[in-house]
Structure 1
Amino acid sequence: MSEKTMRSFAGGLIVAAVILGITYFLEPNDTKNTEAAEPATAEEPEKQDKDKNVELSADEMQTALKAEGFIIHSEDEWKEINKDLQDSGTLKEENEKLKEEVKKAQENNDKKGDGETVYRTMLTVTSGMTSIDVGKALESAKIINKGMDFFNAVEKKGYENDLRPGTFEVDSDMSMDEILKTVFKK
């Protein structure tokens, strides 16, 4: 093939591609027609109900929503969840204020140079936390050196299932046993 023939062939391919692209994008979409022709399956009860204008009972709605992966709560349960969230938000605010006070106290101690710094914090334990989580919180608050030491002490004492939710004041002067007695039920 000569150079001129090759250019003509390439130009023809480009023109064909442009025409096909224009046809593809400007042609009306027929998916609506095919969806209407297909019968709704059992997995799609809401489509069947919309098409038939049938109202579902409360139990049927709950069943359909649970099948879709939603979690259903009564109004009282929802209010309790929101109350818990608001309470935890308030506790977080108080904890932040206390952290600021501790920071100011540390700065004052650093200026005075009075020796060893004592760290104090309000430890908030929520339901669902583990002793590992509490150990990490104590470590980040500089109450203990290693969170795993706390976890190991809990395991040694057998307190794994006795963690009680609440807010506790702990400081770095407390021994590990004193911290365990403060945070656990035993």
Structure 2
Amino acid sequence: MSKKNVRILALGFFISGLLLALFYFVFPAPSSASTQNNNEVDELKSEVSYLQSKIAEMEVAQIEEPAADVEVEASEEQPEEDTEENNEESEENADTEETEDATEEENQEEEVEEDPVVTSTVTIGDGQPSSVAASQLLDQNIIEDRFEFDSFLEDNDYAPLVRPGSYEIRSDMSYEEIAQALMGR
């Protein structure tokens, strides 16, 4: 090959490299951007649902709190006529309230015990972060707080060990058991 031919070949490689670089920076790969956007949208949706549930809990707490304040104000407005009768009545009310509280606690324990165990399938795709699994677990009512579960995975260095696949998860499993299942162990 002559010197002229080698220079033309080198110039061709140089121009090809410039064209490839130009297309790479001007027209980025759409599949990676759309996947990233979809993941961001999913994360934002789960954050919104989490915040909505917290707002609902706070509204319920606010509604219950003023009702308790009204009862206290009503009892403060009643004049005390006969202290002995009031003391006897208050002791009886206290005993009644204690038994009611104990009954309520027993009922709540029974309700907790009666919660059915939910079994669900969690599917993790190649390259998906552990937060996707946490979002699926929240959506399927396996866990109550996806951020807490994701923090658990990060704190225990389990997040990078989560493997792609489909896993059967039950609502009675602890975070440790769920993490072990998601790691394929």
TM over 0.5: no
TM-score (norm 2): 0.40
Larger radius of gyration: 1
Higher normalized helix content (fraction of residues): 2
TM-score (norm 1): 0.40
